[in-house]
Amino acid sequence: MAKSSVMGYPRIGENREWKKALEAFWAGKLEETELHQQLQQIRLQHLSKQQEKGIDYIPVNDFSYYDQVLDTAAMFGIIPKRFNYNGGAVPLSVYFGVARGTKEAAASEMTKWFNTNYHYIVPELYGAEPVLTENRPLAAYREAKEKLGIEGKPVILGPFSFLKLSKGYGRSEVDTWLSILLKLYVQVLQELVAEGVQWVQIDEPALVTKLSNDDVARLHTLYGKLAEAVPQLNLLLQTYFGSLEQYKEIVKLPVQGIGLDFVHGLRGNLSAVREYGFPADKVLGAGIIDGRGIWKAPLGEKLALLRELQGLVSSDKLLVQTSCSLLHVPVTTKPESKLPPELKNALAFADEKLDELVLLTEALNNGEASVAEELALNKHALETLEQSDVRNRADVHTAVARIQTQEPARKSPFAARNAAQQHKWQLPLFPTTTIGSFPQSTEVRKARQSWRKGEWNNEQYSSFIQAQIDSWISYQEEIGLDVLVHGEFERTDMVEFFGEKLEGFAFTQNGWVQSYGSRCVKPPVIFGDVAFKEAMTVEETVYAQSKTNRPVKGMLTGPITIMNWSFVRDDIEREQIAYQLAYALRQEVEALENAGIGMIQVDEPAVREGLPLKEEEQAHYLDWAVKAFRMTTCTVQDTTQIHTHMCYCEFHDMIDSIEAMDADVISIETSRSHGELIHSFEVNTYKHGIGLGVYDIHSPRVPDVEEMTTMIDRALQVLDPKLFWINPDCGLKTRGKEETIASLRNMVEATKVAREKHTVNV
């Protein structure tokens, strides 16, 4: 009999109870004991739900107080020395300090989890001496069994992937570190065996990335020794986000099961199992339900795939799984009463995906006739949406096809534009600016809520927004910033705001997912053809510009970021969605320019996260991502300065594409990994304007002038001072007013120091 298995479940709760508990604790409104109690209640509710729905293998230890990679580091006592950790179980204050920073110590680097919008805390191995501080998977297993009678499947991040995701070691130290980690993993697994655990899911997502022959040899050594240490334990080696590299070698590893992604890795994994087969002595974890997308699975197609896989493995060795953890999708569609019926009926969030797993398992074991009604309803729901008018707009298709054939380019090369812009703006050396947003206070959020509920009319809300703009234009001038922003007080989210004003989007009431820490986002749903309706940002930007003689940037979110931070339709290629967005946003750029706004920032923080994990697919993605950005910005005059913002990325493998975007100025999130990014510029040149973030906005600490001056000096060793800008890492929406003003004052002071040092050299 086939079994159903879940790889991980969302931790945030149906109503973000997890987020609210964490933030209450951080604000001093909740004692630590109360926090543990509340989070345990949420955790048990999640387990109970999976139990009640009939999932056979329920994951435990997939729940976290912040991030699963940080959990693994804390379990092994891998805590940076600056946090004064003295051994033993990591105190909650230290755990959160590593993630969020403290007054005395900067937070650890945070970066993207493979090609998703989830962020993890990067472990720092520099000089660490790991020991097992507490067996977290064991504690989670015991809790599920004692409280709910669940024979859970402990989940743990594998040693190979953990090391790949860490920093603070050299290539020559890889084998040493794997040997150190191996001893710890053996200890964890032996304690699980002693407790009677049957199956352990070891996540090794790094196995879908490029592997060297040395890596394969290391994996055989690593898992060979684990098998020797715990021969009686069933290990499910779980991969996701793509197809296996080195398939023939990986399936030889001495584990009892291997999980493969048959959604995002369908082509590669299916080709491999067809050509090489699958070991008869291993369980196949078939990830056929999309753990990252929100659409109902075409169950008929999924059943056909499962039937094919049944020809390769016996039914008792087949697990029907999600393609990855359900961490990346909202919890349930139940609250979504305001969506168009044809859309809601085609959606499946985490709970609905559990139902799909159970249904498919039922069909495999008892025949399709046992679920014939459900299969028919599924097919009808998907066909209804596919045939709807919103997905078949001839005007959009025609316009996008026309501009797609043109090569988008600015009228003049950067050097000529830069000269024209400098003549127009007369900016000082090292211009200072921010990324766009300013603190969204409780007052701002309440005002927006009152307006949305109809308690405030449009005039009241507009007056309130203008008052916020007035205040922050004044603050920026007093602080001494050179290029200002209006603050984005009218925007809930940098993607949702634009989606609400474009056609082809829909918005959930409760479709939240975790981005990092307690930060949850509610991605829009691109379910139809995207089209421009009317100007979206002109009113507030023009108002802000009327209040100052300094330039105010217009602020837009770029097409690739809107796409990557939305749940997108899966019936057309993502490239076509990007071009539809680019065409709509181009019309907004032109509206801003026509209204007299001469600096326009088109943010693309999510370009990197959309980069395919497979090297052979990356060039094509970057080509059309660059083309979409240029489609958006190419029609403006030379004197109109186009800015963009990107979150941290490894510059060395994207610098050509980033330069090809041809933005006049790019700002980059770098403060948590400043040295690594600066090194990229030592081996690569960048000839456009650039601002490297000089302080981390994800942490509440206020950096001092010396700290930022050091960052500026380091950057100017490799970057052209004439093209260098100074700015924070990212937008300041989540920060408090006082800390924002204090940090920006220090940034401006650091800029003055830099100008005094470097003016004579320019």
Summarised one tens digit per residue, pLDDT across range 709-748 is 988 988 888 889 999 999 998 888 888 899 999 999 999 9
Q: How do residues 693-716 score in pLDDT, each as one tens digit?
A: 888 777 778 889 998 998 898 888
Both 398 and 322 in a single domain?
no
pLDDT at residue 652 above 70?
A: no
Both 295 and 400 in a single domain?
no
311 is in an annotated binding site: no
**CA-to-CA separations, 4 to 150, 233, 290, 320, 355, in angstroms, rounded:** 15, 20, 14, 5, 10
Both 308 and 437 in a single domain?
no
Q: How do residues 77-116 score in pLDDT, each as one tens digit?
A: 999 999 999 999 999 999 999 999 998 998 999 988 999 9
Confidence (pLDDT) at 221: 97
603 is in an annotated binding site: yes
649 is in an annotated binding site: no
Both 52 and 184 in a single domain?
yes
The answer to whether 425 and 418 are in contact (CB under 8 A) is no
pLDDT at residue 294 above 70?
A: yes
Both 490 and 583 in a single domain?
yes
Residue 554 lies in a domain: yes
511 is in an annotated binding site: no
pLDDT at residue 680 above 80?
A: no
H helix runs in 251-288, sequence order? 266-276
R_g of the chain, CA atoms, integer Å = 26
What percent of the chain has pLDDT above 70?
98
Both 231 and 316 in a single domain?
yes
Both 55 and 185 in a single domain?
yes
3 state DSSP class of 599: strand
The DSSP secondary-structure symbol of 525 reads E
Q: How do residues 204-225 score in pLDDT, each as one tens digit?
A: 999 999 999 999 999 999 999 9
Question: How is residue 361 written in tokens?
Answer: 């398992």
Residue 613 lies in a domain: yes
Please measure the distance between the N-terminal and C-terminal CA atoms of the chain and give it in whole angstroms: 74
Indicate the residue among 314, 330, 346 that finishes a domain.
330
Both 311 and 399 in a single domain?
no
Residue type, 11: R
**760 pLDDT tier (thresholds 50, 70, 90):** low
Residue type, 59: P
Residue 375 lies in a domain: no
Q: In terms of residue numbers, what domain contains 93?
A: 3-330
Distance CA(227)–CA(221), nearest Å, equals: 10
List phi, psi (to 5°) of 21.
Answer: -65, -45
Residue 418 lies in a domain: no
Distance CA(371)–CA(713), nearest Å, equals: 66
Instruction: Name the one residue in this structure whose structure tokens are 């009241």.
Output: 460
> Which long-range CB contacts under 8 A does 735-741 form with residues at least 24 apart?
735/439, 735/697, 735/700, 736/439, 736/700, 737/439, 737/441, 739/700, 739/701, 739/702, 740/438, 740/439, 741/475, 741/479
Residue 373 lies in a domain: no
Catalytic residue positions, numbered: 698
Both 57 and 140 in a single domain?
yes
Both 597 and 471 in a single domain?
yes
Residue 549 lies in a domain: yes
Confidence (pLDDT) at 605: 87
435 is in an annotated binding site: yes
Note the residue count of the chain.
Answer: 762
19 is in an annotated binding site: yes
| 334-348, 353-367, 382-396, 641-655, range with the lowest pLDDT | 641-655
Instruction: Name the one residue in this structure whose structure tokens are 């009926």.
Output: 345
Both 463 and 571 in a single domain?
yes
| 485-499, 535-549, 668-682, range with the lowest pLDDT | 668-682
3 state DSSP class of 210: coil
704 is in an annotated binding site: no
Distance CA(535)–CA(60), nearest Å, equals: 48
Indicate the residue among 274, 308, 330 that finishes a domain.
330
Helix %, strand %, coil % of the chain (to 5): 50, 15, 35
What percent of the chain has pLDDT above 90?
85
Rounded to the nearest angstrom, the gap between the alpha carbon of residue 287 and the centroid of all alpha carbons in its chain is 21
Number of compact structural domains in the chain: 2
DSSP string covering 127-195, please?
Answer: T--------HHHHHHHHHHHHH----EEEEE-HHHHHHT-BS--GGGHHHHHHHHHHHHHHHHHHHHHH
324 is in an annotated binding site: no
Confidence (pLDDT) at 412: 96
730 is in an annotated binding site: yes
Q: Which of 106, 7, 12 is nearest to 57 (CA)?
A: 7
Q: Between residues 406 and 256, which one has the greater pLDDT?
A: 256
Confidence (pLDDT) at 759: 73
Q: Between residues 37 and 438, which one has the greater pLDDT?
A: 37
List phi, psi (to 5°) of 15.
Answer: -120, 30
Apex CA 182: angle with CA 178 and CA 188, to 5°?
A: 145
Distance CA(467)–CA(474), nearest Å, equals: 11
Question: What's the CATH number where 531 sits?
Answer: 3.20.20.210
Sequence-ordered list of residues with C-beta below 8 angstroms from that of 281, at least 6 positions apart, any chain: none
Question: How is residue 439 written in tokens?
Answer: 């603190």
Both 184 and 41 in a single domain?
yes
Sequence-ordered list of residues with C-beta below 8 angstroms from that of 247, at least 6 positions apart, any chain: 268, 269, 272, 276
Question: How is residue 561 written in tokens?
Answer: 């970021």
Sequence-ordered list of residues with C-beta below 8 angstroms from that of 508, at least 6 positions apart, any chain: 330, 336, 339, 522, 525
Distance CA(599)–CA(592), nearest Å, equals: 9
Q: Which of 97, 221, 70, 255 is nearest to 700 (CA)?
A: 97
Sequence-ordered list of residues with C-beta below 8 angstroms from that of 528, at least 6 positions apart, any chain: 388, 390, 391, 393, 503, 504, 505, 569
755 is in an annotated binding site: no
Residue 359 lies in a domain: no
Indicate the residue among 305, 330, 355 that finishes a domain.
330
Residue 353 lies in a domain: no
Confidence (pLDDT) at 608: 83
